[in-house]
Chains A and B, each alone.
Chain A
């Protein structure tokens, strides 16, 4: 005779092991995500759009045979012939990133995530430097905060559990025993038993920050450079959006003169012409003076350029930079030089580097792969490198 029983518990035995596995997957996502952040398909998308991201699975390693061994199987019929080809080499190798030869049966998870989630992974350990709280201005956010209980309120805020407890308390105090009660005798709710959750509107002081992106859109900024610049700005923009509520962003483009543009124009338009880099910074300084007083705002400015500037403008650039630097928390200069740039002319970076103070950073981006490291070093603690 066998024993039959219902399983005692439906507790999830594997919960902790799944959590641990997920942690490992998360780490794999973080480690492998950088190569996709400068991917064309992502730049310029809004935060809700979903992307499929291949993530290398956490592998359990074993001694296994390669694929030079023979296999035995059963055929559906008798028409299998010696030498017959039953499987073609897959010549359209699926393009897995960073993946030389995908023969070894490596496991990939396709993780679907939105840009916002992607930002969370990317920026988990990063923060804007020195985001100190400046004087509070009119920007405050209102939040509903729980604030105890009341005996009056609207029904949707009725706390059933608290109310039931209050009734039981009263019942015990009254010495009413429902088991011993006579037929039809009950102990109904009293108005005072009802407990309603109370909310209060609270003003949350919030940090005011404004970020300026200045991009060179002159003729020397070819498609490659423009793409790198956009990647960088886009990353920075997503980062700021994901980290700080109430951040104002100002986009400025310049060739020989500067314009304030909106987000979509910034990421899409292109013009041609010469370069007066100082005009970009001058416009930022002007906007700061008009709209964002440094006493009440945390200011961040990033300038993206290929480093070519009219010689006659260099002096003006330096003085505008000095003015800007004295007002902002961080000034980041990002020079884009895809391979072909071997010109011996004086680049802005060379001009700037010796004059930079603590709150300026200078980075160079040569290729797609540099975008994320440049971004990291921009936010890191060091003064940056050319």
Chain B
């Protein structure tokens, strides 16, 4: 380490002053300094300081560790948890100037966690305690001779398979009585409104597959607990999936702004600019969220002023953010293009960002950002005979078949009866069973 923690404290004070002056409003931040090995460990658990055990975290660790050792992948400079206070892991080995950059970056993230609307339901005050308590309970299930590790593991495998097939931030999930109430209102306004079949369960499509199973399947308490914990975790992480571009863009925008006002000594400043450019460089053939987010926040400020930036950070998520703010000029500047794999197995370009193509490119981009690459499925009906009927909202993209079957196997284990999925493959309506 080429620095002392006390030196960082000095710079932190300056960073906080500048950030406050600009109107940022963040959770207090606790910086923990760890070595690379612990960083890989922390990454496996997405920064949660305490978490129940599951082999998939071991797999994640092995993969990161392997990539890092092979030099194929660097480690992130920091890892910040959406908690109150914010918990940020810092790599001890990072050079001094980089730690300053990261601290400014973390202030941006923490402000985003605190103020962006999608994060409203994440309960950052209690996340650490929730996870710790769940870990203890799961450990007890593992040690319980009537349950044991294999059953616990299988249940977690199954829950993780559909962890994000739940209510996404901003989506409304109505209870039975609420649906009936809403239907009455509609009927009042329009006597022709179609009847509601109240014998059906659920009354309306339920996008919270885990929630539906938890409420409707016959389950032992421990299994329901595992489902609820995984579901809670899914809800906790959804906002981060939905706002990856904005979150990184906002944090990059602020580390850039703050560091320019910090009066860094010239040698630190040069190093900082280099690191910054490294972080926000475009990824050829893909989207670097840092790059796109940073670019957009800069343009929004130029076009509409800084107040618009603060408004955007509060009310948008990636999909709406891109739809609202990405212009033809941006598409051209970023050289965005869309491509797909064709029937003959080759990959070719579909649209480029010129006059007639850019809107199509933006539409495709909106589909893929903010968790858009996670298919949308819902519970259509739990039949009297025990069948669970799921539907896939097909938007032109087919589900991958063998994976789908494996997930249905998992769901079968939770639901304990037949699970049937309706979808479209190659333009044909298909029923897939576990």
Q: A269 in the interface, Cβ–Cβ < 8 Å?
A: no
CB contacts under 8 Å to B, within A44-93, are: 57-78, 80-91
Q: A104 in the interface, Cβ–Cβ < 8 Å?
A: yes
Which of B161, B337, B365, B410 has most chain A Cβ within 10 Å?
B337
Which of A19, A59, A85 meets B347, CB within 8 Å? Answer: A85
Write out, one digit per residue, whether chain B residues 351-394 have a CB within 8 A of any chain A CB (1) or not (0): 11000010001001101100001110100000000000000100
The segment out of A6-14, A182-190, A333-341, A365-373 that lies at the interface is: A6-14
Write out, one digit per residue, whether chain A residues 1-43 have a CB within 8 A of any chain B CB (1) or not (0): 1111111001011101111111110000000000000000000
Give the interface residue-count category, chain A: 35 or more
Which of A2, A58, A80, A90 meets B55, CB within 8 Å? Answer: A58
Which of A5, A12, A20 meets B33, CB within 8 Å? Answer: A5
Give chain A nearest CB distance to B176 CB in angstroms.
Answer: 26
A10-B56 CB under 8 A given contacts A2-B29, A4-B8, A63-B165 = no
The segment out of B58-66, B122-130, B236-244 that lies at the interface is: B58-66
Which of A14, A24, A68, A80 meets B57, CB within 8 Å? Answer: A14
Q: Which residues of B contact A64 (CB under 8 A)?
A: 373, 375, 399-400, 403
In the bound complex, do residue A70 and residue B336 qualify as a contact, i.e. CB atoms below 8 Å apart?
A: no
Q: Which residues of B contact A23 (CB under 8 A)?
A: 55
Which of B38, B61, B339, B346 meets A10, CB within 8 Å? Answer: B38
Give chain B nearest CB distance to A206 CB in angstroms.
Answer: 38
Q: Across the two chains, which residue of chain A brings its CB closest to B369?
A: A72
Write out, one digit per residue, whether chain A residues 285-329 have a CB within 8 A of any chain B CB (1) or not (0): 000000000000000000000000000000000000000000000
Q: Which residues of A contact B373 (CB under 8 A)?
A: 64-65
Give chain A nearest CB distance to B392 CB in angstroms.
Answer: 8
A61-B31 CB under 8 A given contacts A18-B58, A20-B53 = no
Cα–Cα, bound, A59→B340 (Å):
25
In the bound complex, do residue A82 and residue B339 qualify as a contact, i.e. CB atoms below 8 Å apart?
A: no
A13-B406 CB under 8 A given contacts A7-B32, A84-B349, A89-B346 = no
Give chain A nearest CB distance to B426 CB in angstroms.
Answer: 8
In the bound complex, do residue B30 and residue A5 qualify as a contact, i.e. CB atoms below 8 Å apart?
A: yes
Cα–Cα, bound, A20→B16 (Å):
43
Q: Which residues of B contact A6 (CB under 8 A)?
A: 5, 32-33
A72-B361 CB under 8 A given contacts A4-B5, A61-B410, A65-B397 = yes
Give chain A nearest CB distance to B131 CB in angstroms.
Answer: 12
In the bound complex, do residue B30 and residue A74 qualify as a contact, i.e. CB atoms below 8 Å apart?
A: no
Cα–Cα, bound, A7→B283 (Å):
33
A2-B30 CB under 8 A given contacts A18-B62, A66-B401 = yes
Cα–Cα, bound, A4→B90 (Å):
10
CB contacts under 8 Å to A, within B1-41, are: 5, 8-9, 12-13, 16, 28-35, 37-38, 40-41
Q: Across the two chains, which residue of chain B brings its CB closest to A91?
A: B345
In the bound complex, do residue B397 and residue A75 qualify as a contact, i.e. CB atoms below 8 Å apart?
A: no
Cα–Cα, bound, A14→B52 (Å):
11
In the bound complex, do residue A76 and residue B338 qualify as a contact, i.e. CB atoms below 8 Å apart?
A: no
Cα–Cα, bound, A70→B32 (Å):
41
Give chain A nearest CB distance to B250 CB in angstroms.
Answer: 18
Q: B327 in the interface, Cβ–Cβ < 8 Å?
A: no
In the bound complex, do residue A21 and residue B397 qualify as a contact, i.e. CB atoms below 8 Å apart?
A: no
A63-B403 CB under 8 A given contacts A73-B339, A74-B284, A82-B351 = yes
Which of B338, B339, B364 has most chain A Cβ within 10 Å?
B339
Chain B's interface: helix, strand, loop or mixed, by majority? mixed
A63-B399 CB under 8 A given contacts A18-B62, A19-B58, A83-B349 = yes
Q: Which residues of A contact B13 (CB under 8 A)?
A: 1
Give chain A nearest CB distance to B89 CB in angstroms.
Answer: 8
Cα–Cα, bound, A70→B410 (Å):
28
Q: B44 in the interface, Cβ–Cβ < 8 Å?
A: yes
Which of B16, B153, B161, B340 meets A68, CB within 8 Å? Answer: B340
Which of A17, A19, A62, A77 meets B335, CB within 8 Å? Answer: A77
Q: Across the two chains, which residue of chain B brings its CB closest to A104?
A: B402
CB contacts under 8 Å to A, within B158-190, are: 160-162, 164-165
Q: Across the two chains, which residue of chain A brings its CB closest to B426?
A: A68
A14-B61 CB under 8 A given contacts A61-B403, A76-B284 = yes
Cα–Cα, bound, A86→B340 (Å):
10
Cα–Cα, bound, A84→B348 (Å):
5
Cα–Cα, bound, A86→B284 (Å):
12
Q: Across the two chains, which residue of chain B brings its CB closest to A60?
A: B56
Write out, one digit per residue, whether chain B residues 267-289 have a CB within 8 A of any chain A CB (1) or not (0): 00000000000000011111110
Q: Which residues of B contact A61 (CB under 8 A)?
A: 161, 403, 406-407, 409-410
In the bound complex, do residue B397 and residue A2 qualify as a contact, i.e. CB atoms below 8 Å apart?
A: no
Which of B103, B346, B399, B409 meets A85, CB within 8 Å? Answer: B346
In the bound complex, do residue A24 and residue B31 qualify as a contact, i.e. CB atoms below 8 Å apart?
A: no
11 more contacts with CB within 8 A, not counting A64-B400, A78-B335, A87-B341, are A2-B16, A5-B30, A6-B5, A13-B44, A16-B58, A66-B397, A66-B398, A71-B364, A73-B287, A76-B282, A86-B347
11 contacts between A and B (CB under 8 A): A1-B13, A7-B89, A14-B44, A18-B58, A64-B375, A65-B375, A70-B367, A71-B338, A75-B284, A89-B346, A104-B403
Residue positions of A touching B, CB distance < 8 A = 1-7, 10, 12-14, 16-24, 57-78, 80-91, 104
Please give me the 5 A-B residue pairs with the lowest Cβ-Cβ distance, nearest first.
A89-B345, A87-B347, A21-B58, A17-B58, A18-B58
